[in-house]
Amino acid sequence: MSDLKISPLAPKTSPVLPELAGVRMATAQAGIKYAGRTDLLVMVFDQPTSVAGVFTTSKCSSAPVDWCRKALNSGKAAKALVVNAGNANAFTGVKGSAATDVTAKAMAVAAGCHEQEVYLASTGVIGEPLDAEKFAPLLSELTQKSDGDGWQLAAEAIMTTDTYPKLATSTFDIDGTSVTINGIAKGSGMIAPDMATMLSFVVTDAAIENELLQSLLSDLVGSTFNAITVDSDTSTSDTLMLFATGGADNEALSGGSLDQFKEELRGVLHNLSMQIVRDGEGATKEIEIHVTGAESDIAAKRIALSIANSPLVKTAVAGEDANWGRVVMAVGKAGEAADRDKLAIWFGDIRVAVAGERDPDYSEDAASDVMRRDEIKITADVGIGSGEARVWTCDLTKEYVAINGDYRS
């Protein structure tokens, strides 16, 4: 949205993503909703490509999410991806699945593949029928002119309320073979269903078969994309897909090389997910919540999300107020075991509470210094066990209310 100010937490520079053997892309101005900007992305894979996906848990998932789930279950490789911005094709009834059919058919013709080898994603307004006939005729031309050099343009074409395009890349050596992972993402409200929703597409030239690819992605999503929250609202369209073209001609990953690849992939996913948090609607602070001492890692994450989603904690951070009483409140409401009389809380490295009461050595000035930074870490040790989790969020500002409340008026 061109009228939004760029987030103060935007990265200073955008990485240049290298070409990656086996994938080409192109974008177009299809006029789905926006004027004067691209809103359609096509990725074409030269060879049948391994694919893995993780999708929204919403019970009202969008038509393209339903399509991707079916395509993944078919066990076929991927040959193409089509993404549009401006319309989420969600809550559009039979018209919605008709639109995915039209798009997949046109793309299958363009790429010379089976429909079930085409993956789809849509982001934007909910409940408006998506007129796929409008952009389906473009797919053939886009396929012809696609090339390997379009990552920046690709990231721009999928933006909605994002204030900057989100890209990440990593090139590394595995058993003497150079391998690259490139990723793009969009998302700003997590997830403003009206104009946002989280989408991310990651491509590697590594050779990895489907089952392993899916297990890597499923393993890593919990500590990356599923560890961020902007406003606790879950989109109908959340989609994270990982494609492996095999263009790097590496040997099969196993043992140390698999661990290495997984760490590099974690880095790219973490990088992209943090870019989404830092572009959270109205955000002025990045907040890391670190919970330790919980009954289990799952309990720790539930407590961390309770803190991260608390409007009172988020408004306190916006006001640069080291209000640890609200952290106590959020620990208490999470419903997980916590020993009130052993609870300790830190803002940055300043311990503000210990053993169930205010830290006697606590200095309000030192805590206030921490709160003026634009990256705030809140740690809570709940004194029960060894469960641990980290989640990331942003503050809640008047600007968030303005973006989401004044939107139509």
Q: Which residues are catalytic?
A: 197
- Rounded to a whole number of angstroms, the minimum distance from the CB of residue 316 to its own copies is 7
On whether the CB atoms of residues 9 and 286 are closer than 8 A, the answer is yes
Alpha helices in 238-310 (DSSP H): 255-278, 297-308
User: Quick one: 212 or 337, whose CB is closer to its own copies?
Assistant: 337
What is the DSSP code (8-state) at residue 236?
S
Q: Smallest Cα–Cα separation from 169: which of 189, 154, 158?
A: 154
Binding to its own copies by CB under 8 A, coded x per residue (else -) over 162-201, reads: ---------------------------x-xxxx-------
Among 26, 44, 51, 90, binds its own copies (CB under 8 A): 90
Residues in the chain: 409
61 binds its own copies (CB under 8 A): yes
- Rounded to a whole number of angstroms, the minimum distance from the CB of residue 276 to its own copies is 16
- Please report, as residue ranges, which positions from 28 to 57 form the binding site for its own copies (by CB under 8 A): 56-57
User: Quick one: 20 or 291, whose CB is closer to its own copies?
Assistant: 291
291 binds its own copies (CB under 8 A): no
Q: Which two tokens stand for residue 380?
A: 């809570």
Among 14, 140, 226, 232, binds its own copies (CB under 8 A): 232
Q: How many CA atoms lie within 13 A of 275 on its CB side?
A: 28
Question: Quick one: which segment of 38-46, 78-86, 171-179, 321-329 binds its own copies (CB under 8 A)?
Answer: 321-329
Residue 213 CB burial class (10 angstroms; 0-12, 13-18, ≥19): buried
Alpha helices in 146-237 (DSSP H): 151-157, 210-221
Residue holding tokens 């996913």? 269
361 binds its own copies (CB under 8 A): no
User: Quick one: 139 or 305, whose CB is closer to its own copies?
Assistant: 305
On whether the CB atoms of residues 378 and 367 are closer than 8 A, the answer is no
207 binds its own copies (CB under 8 A): no
User: Quick one: 12 or 372, whose CB is closer to its own copies?
Assistant: 372
- Rounded to a whole number of angstroms, the minimum distance from the CB of residue 91 to its own copies is 5
Which residues, at least 6 apart from 406, have a Cβ–Cβ distance to it below 8 Å? none
